[in-house]
Structure 1
Amino acid sequence: MSPATPTVPVARLSSFYLVYYAALGAFTPYWSLFLASRGMSVTAISVMMSLWYATRVVAPSIWTSAAARSSNPIRWLRAGCILTLLTFAAFLLPLEHGWLYPAMVAFCFFYNAVMPQFESITLTHLGGDSHRYGLIRVWGSFGFIAVVSLFGWLIEHHGAGRLPWLMLPLFALLVASGFANHYARNIPVRSADAEGFWQIVRRPAVLAFFIAAFLEQLSFGPYYTFFSVYMDQHGYATSTLGLMWTVGVVFEVAVFFTISRFFRRWDASWLLILSMGSAALRWWATALWPENLAVMLIAQSTHCLGFAAFFASAMQLLAGYFPGRLNGHGQGLFYGFSSGLGGVLGALIAGQLWPLGNGQVAFLVAGGFALVGTLIAWRWIPPRKPPAGLIHDSQ
């Protein structure tokens, strides 16, 4: 057993994921409804929602770099949580439409900034037991599911205009969790950190990892942007659409609970390759057999691989590539380049391809992106070590 195991503050770490993704469970599906209740047009809403991805490109790198240079980096996490709460509170005011845009930029910037730093905090606590990451991160999935279900009922009965008031307590809890958490150890600031970081990034395996992660996120563009529209085009009822989304998250929870057993025996690179390969098959099945409910449910169940297993594997690899304070830099680049830039370009490409075959071509191309990422990972991301269980038992 690793020496770090008894001291990992699982409850405090889990609370941050729980609240952060609970708020995301309100924001992602319902924020556009709130904007519509304020009288915004479809075009204006699409611009507002694009600001979420746009700020994700820059916010993680800026915030984690600033924290990495600080003598007391935990202050940056807490400041980010406070600023998330304060900027979100602007939506409680009767702002004119023109003022909603800067409010959205400010809120999305700070909200996107804090999670990469917290991922680094979690990994400092886990140390050599990073395979336990899924057991902590799974609470984010629980929070997301609970809020999606509860807030959907509340909005149906009380209207989307009350959404900011419903979300505000979640951000207050995020601040409380931010102050309850801290780094596992003090990591000294070194002037060579930035230079050492870019030296690591230039290594073939690390560079291949970031390119593969970017392609994986790029492949999700049609899914996150148009999947519900695509299913509606093929005659599925709204209740069936809800079942499809729920299936993916339920299997995601199962993976987070069990994935530590895989990491005890096998290197994360193998699971990364498997998860990206499954994404390619998923998008092709979605493109070719959208009318077949059984195929669609099976495809949705593979979300546990394409998202949950992929994300857990990425955290494992980042922990190995970027030790200590450098992990914050790595998290920032991962979130900004993969989730940020990959998310923006994925949505834009999906929008351009959507008229071709009413979405079929978009999903076929998405599968191609995932396949290219899989081949890159297979060729240039070799296993970094023997099975993790053997190393763990020898410590």
Structure 2
Amino acid sequence: MSFAVRLATVYGTMFLFTGVYLPFFPVWLKSQGLDATEISLVVALSLFLRIVVSPFFAAVADRIGDRRRVMVWLAWASLASAALFLWVEGFGPILFVALVLNAVFPAIGPLVETIAMRARIDQGMNYGRVRLWGSITFIAASAGAGWLLEWNTPSIIAVCLVAALVLNVAGVWLLPRETRPTAAIPHRRQFAGALGIGRHPIFILFVLTASLIQATHAVYYAFGSLAWQIQGYSDAVIGLLWATGVIAEIVLFYISGPIMARFGAVRLLMLAGAAAGLRWTVTALSPPIAILFVMQALHGLTFGAAHLGAVQFVAQAAPPRLAATAQSLYAAMASGVIMGFVTIGIGPIYQMLGPYTYFVMAGAAVVALAGTALLALRWQGGLIVSEDEEEEENDD
């Protein structure tokens, strides 16, 4: 089995879980008696854990030079924590389990992305065509879970989450052991390098801009399915709406090789910001189902182009030996800090405005688009902290 196939399998098993969790975890939370504010708190507080936890595990992986071993630990911990959803009841216990799960499972993502982007650079592997298998399994999971909900109680969602994580453990085990692992990095030198990247003005601008683009999906992730239920759409149709967005991702990822080479990181982020402004403005108006499907297709740009731009920026801007740390710093902000604050904020707003809350997301997209323009002026496409500079800082 080739390395690309093994890596595609890891992506596929990861996104089986995500394909159930993103669209239907809020539905399960509602079935457990949580209101809109409590749902937004569970989702948002879980995201905040990524601020510290994901960079910590990435730093451990960079330091010991064995990303696979850390991924195995995280996969088993994710399975053990998700299994508790089969028994817990009430806001407090559910929140606790969600916090534990979101402390470990999201930390796998930056490690996989780092391995994949390094394979793209060193071996010429087509990143998009490997990554698209995650999108394919996301479609299968979201559509399948929607179909199961047609004739099962929402408790089936927890069962699906556990089953997906069982497969994720198997997928991670398929990765080959690192026969020539990266040399362990001294604590002091690693900290100096991570600090040098994390405090660099260009990296900060990139993180805030790219994170804000992803945060424009907050209403969609937390309340999209619930809003469509209120509008009268069946769970099967809702699953298809989610799947439509990911189909657009697949198309983009399949042709991503020449697109990434032609557009570059910053222009991909610009495209994502512009598409987000259009998508959320139209979605706020509760358009007819045909137009709604078209807006869902823009997910290929609002998420897909933003994701490609972000991972390409990190691969070009961060030294290879700190790639996982830099990727996790971005992921912690994009999926943790920014997304968390936005998710908490839109809970009460959604209770007042309903689908019109998408207008707030459209406004955030405009701000992000301005950030990408500034980033284009300040970054020329190279390392923002060189290996030599890091060594000099460490020597000092």
For normalisation by structure 1, the TM-score amounts to 0.84
The change in CA–CA distance for 1:385 and 1:316 in structure 2 (over 3 A counts) is same
Listed one character per residue, the Cα deviations across residues 304-344 of structure 1 (whole Å, up to 9, x for unaligned) are 10101110111111111113231111111111111111221
Q: Does 1:175 align with 2:172?
A: no
Between the aligned partners of 1:335 and 1:304, the Cα distance in structure 2 is 19
Between the aligned partners of 2:162 and 2:225, the Cα distance in structure 1 is 28
Between the aligned partners of 2:317 and 2:267, the Cα distance in structure 1 is 16
Alignment of 1:152-171 (within 5 A): 152-171=146-165
Alignment of 1:110-259 (within 5 A): 110-128=104-122, 132-181=126-175, 182=177, 185-191=180-186, 192-231=189-228, 241-259=238-256
**Equivalent residue for 2:19, pick from 17, 25, 30:** 25
The change in CA–CA distance for 1:357 and 1:111 in structure 2 (over 3 A counts) is closer
Aligned to 2:310: 314
Gapped regions of structure 1 (runs ≥ 5): 1-6, 387-395
| 1:33 CA displacement | 4.6
Between the aligned partners of 1:180 and 1:128, the Cα distance in structure 2 is 21
Alignment partner of 1:325: what SS?
helix
Listed one character per residue, the Cα deviations across residues 93-134 of structure 1 (whole Å, up to 9, x for unaligned) are x44545444333222211122211221122222225678221
Aligned to 1:3: none
Give the number of equivalent residue pairs. 376
Aligned to 1:380: 375
Alignment of 1:1-12 (within 5 A): 9-12=3-6
Aligned to 1:281: 278
Q: Does 1:354 align with 2:350?
A: yes
Query: What is the alpha-carbon root mean square deviation over aligned residues?
Result: 2.9
Between the aligned partners of 1:45 and 1:306, the Cα distance in structure 2 is 24
Aligned to 1:4: none
Between the aligned partners of 1:237 and 1:23, the Cα distance in structure 2 is 22
| 1:11 CA displacement | 0.6
Between the aligned partners of 2:124 and 2:272, the Cα distance in structure 1 is 19
Between the aligned partners of 1:228 and 1:89, the Cα distance in structure 2 is 24
> Which region of structure 1 is more displaced relative to structure 2, 151-160 or 248-257?
151-160
Gapped regions of structure 2 (runs ≥ 5): 383-396
The change in CA–CA distance for 1:8 and 1:322 in structure 2 (over 3 A counts) is farther
The change in CA–CA distance for 1:184 and 1:150 in structure 2 (over 3 A counts) is farther
Listed one character per residue, the Cα deviations across residues 202-246 of structure 1 (whole Å, up to 9, x for unaligned) are 333322111101221232222223334545666666665444333
Q: Which amino acid aligns with 1:148?
A: S
The change in CA–CA distance for 1:380 and 1:272 in structure 2 (over 3 A counts) is same
> Which region of structure 1 is more displaced relative to structure 2, 148-157 or 16-25?
148-157
| 1:47 CA displacement | 4.3
Between the aligned partners of 1:163 and 1:240, the Cα distance in structure 2 is 17
Aligned to 1:82: 76
Contact 1:125-1:184 within 8 A present in 2 as well: no
Q: Which amino acid aligns with 2:182?
A: I
Between the aligned partners of 1:267 and 1:318, the Cα distance in structure 2 is 12
Alignment partner of 1:160: what SS?
coil
Alignment partner of 2:185: what SS?
coil
The change in CA–CA distance for 1:199 and 1:221 in structure 2 (over 3 A counts) is same
Contact 2:78-2:105 within 8 A present in 1 as well: yes
**Equivalent residue for 1:365, pick from 360, 369, 381:** 360
Q: Which amino acid aligns with 1:119?
A: E
Aligned to 1:297: 293
Contact 2:40-2:222 within 8 A present in 1 as well: no
Contact 2:142-2:242 within 8 A present in 1 as well: no
The change in CA–CA distance for 1:68 and 1:368 in structure 2 (over 3 A counts) is same
**Equivalent residue for 2:47, pick from 40, 43, 53:** 53
Between the aligned partners of 2:146 and 2:140, the Cα distance in structure 1 is 10
For normalisation by structure 2, the TM-score amounts to 0.83
Between the aligned partners of 1:197 and 1:173, the Cα distance in structure 2 is 33
Listed one character per residue, the Cα deviations across residues 331-388 of structure 1 (whole Å, up to 9, x for unaligned) are 111111111112212222223433665443x3233222111111111122356459xx
Contact 2:143-2:243 within 8 A present in 1 as well: no
The change in CA–CA distance for 1:47 and 1:268 in structure 2 (over 3 A counts) is closer
Q: Percent identity between the aligned chains?
A: 26
| 1:259 CA displacement | 1.4
The change in CA–CA distance for 1:185 and 1:127 in structure 2 (over 3 A counts) is farther
The change in CA–CA distance for 1:167 and 1:284 in structure 2 (over 3 A counts) is closer
| 1:66 CA displacement | 2.1
**Equivalent residue for 2:325, pick from 329, 343, 347:** 329
> Which region of structure 1 is more displaced relative to structure 2, 96-105 or 191-200?
96-105
